[in-house]
Structure 1
Amino acid sequence: MSEQINMTHDQLAELIAKDVRRRAHCEGFSSIALYQLKDGQIPGINWSEGPINFGTADEDECVRALREIIPRMQKQYRLVAR
């Protein structure tokens, strides 16, 4: 596996939100919170999704999108404090 890219909470949360908003019926997606996992809790992954604000978007469609987006981004990005 290639090296993960370090991202702050705000950077990564906005990247995820932008990806969700590109999906049909998800243009009104508002935001997602993330939380950092303890080292070794899930090998190779140091963050997970927290509370989600769907805004005016279709919740079911956004959940489907997030099921694809989150695992992909967990492999690509590492959550860092700064």
Structure 2
Amino acid sequence: MKALLVLIFSFFCAGAMAEEPLPVEQYSYSQHLDIAHVISMSEVANVCAVVPVRMTYEDSKGQKHILEYRVMGNGCSNG
């Protein structure tokens, strides 16, 4: 599973680096977000754990940002 996550993140990182290198911002709950347009979002891993995902977006001034935050993976079952 870890190898799959590394492969997924490598794929998205390579695509982001092809355009221009942007710093990855870590999200915190107190942070004010200025999201005018979402460009892309990484896939949520199919594991039952909290995993990092990234969103690339443009703010109201047209500047691109990459935001990393954590979500629960899609691999949990309720049974």
Q: TM-score, structure 2 length as denominator?
A: 0.30
**Larger helix share, 1 or 2:** 1
**Larger strand share, 1 or 2:** 2
Q: Which of structures 1 and 2 has the bigger CA Rg?
A: 2
Q: TM-score, structure 1 length as denominator?
A: 0.29
